[in-house]
Chains A and B, each alone.
Chain A
């Protein structure tokens, strides 16, 4: 019975994706909100099958991220992330045009995250910004090795995660979401 919870979560995720893809299928005389009843029934059956298939391939041990409030915070997180993304894009675009200030290097990052989800979100945020990409991760201490396009003058030792972003402290946001 231990695998019932992953099955339910995977089923809900599959059902939401099915709802998004089939939105607007409502017929004039038969339909609930945006979806026709035939689509809803087929979607329900398919998502139950998906949940049953996925119940064995769950690797996590913590169900902290199943809380909907955290997902709401994750959606709000898009705003500071986009601001940071604009800065990173303009910086890298300027470096492509001028060709100056390219001092590549790999730095060690101590993320200071207590959960695996936090480390995942932090490394994904770092990789998606142009100019920084996480190359490798130490799975025990959750230390990240980040390749930067411009590491500055003389970096020494491991740097904390709060220093890697240009303007906003995204690591603090991630800690708020996942802990």
Chain B
């Protein structure tokens, strides 16, 4: 264990040396700010969870059943997320980290290197899921007035789930690396992306959330209640955790201990199996992974003549960006995940039983359309965070080429903007049109939402490029690392604020228009003025969102690199 501790030291020594707050003023402020934002989100999750559970508790007969169904859903989704992030983290830590040649040159057994990396990747892959599920569990404890035993139970069950997910995903990676030919090693990412897509899709569909809002699927209330009570698969670790936590909530301590023991014995077995496997094959797999990567697509995936109409510099960067993106198979797993999220997003709209809603009106449909606009733009924000925000940082050590070339930083950033803007615009417009069609919105709402999206997409992309330039990380090993930073958080917050602002500004006039249409009355002059001013404000906000971040990004990048 001393060796494992030493191998982990480079991760923890800088933290213990600097301390959380003891550092330069600028980074201290950033950490405080990040901590504050995290706390706000944490409290928000707790508040919403508590509110929902209190509401469920107030429903007679089936309130507790609904509460436990929600708990089950939470655990299944958390486990799926842990598995997915465990796959990506372990692949990176075990086979792609830049310090691996240094560590493998040391007189340390391979399984100890594996174990230290496994601990590292487990922490990386699970901290966010853990942090933001804890307030939900706390809310359960408070609403159900659980004793101390419950709090110990949920913590250790969560920990067991983390260990199981990480061990299983790591074993999958180790086996995958051995099975796939060395020259196709990075095809592992493609495989993992597809597996993640399938896994997340199955997790979401297993929940069948549409049943919660469509009681008429069931013949009787009792059948409906029974379906809510029906357990998840008994071989899933999330089921054992659910059984243990539920028993602890209801005071059945012995039963809870039994299910916890099952979970922990499986966790120990998985970890043991992973260590044995690692001792046998980890170093062989690592050696295999060191071959020069072969291209997955040997034929040219980009027909350069398609871009002949572009000006020279834009054409050069466009072709470069597309080629490097297509050849960077580490990006593909993100692409698969995003495709999964987009498809699930649209699919969930298709199964919503809107026609069975007791208060179905045009008003309700179009309210959903309005909210959907915000959601679609939030999906765009998440996509931009993965692709547009890291765009400048992905130049990495090759940024010197930009500095010595005869293009200014302003042109460089605008070129980046024009590379990412068209595909993201197409994606978001498809999303909004498809979901609006499923929601059966009025032509006015269709027009409004597509136009609003058209105005905001360039702003969000511009904020991604601009803020990514203001907070670059040329040493990041992959794009995901870039966005999980102070700058990435600022980007997400500002985009959310922009979307919320536009939705709020448009909400009033749109509501007035609906009421006027509903009551078949003309709008007053004052109302017209309000509508015009509001939409003009949206236009001005959109323009500001396009130009201000780019100017800021150029200024910051110039200061940083001069």
Asked if A pairs with B, the answer is no
Interface residues, chain B, CB within 8 Å of chain A? none
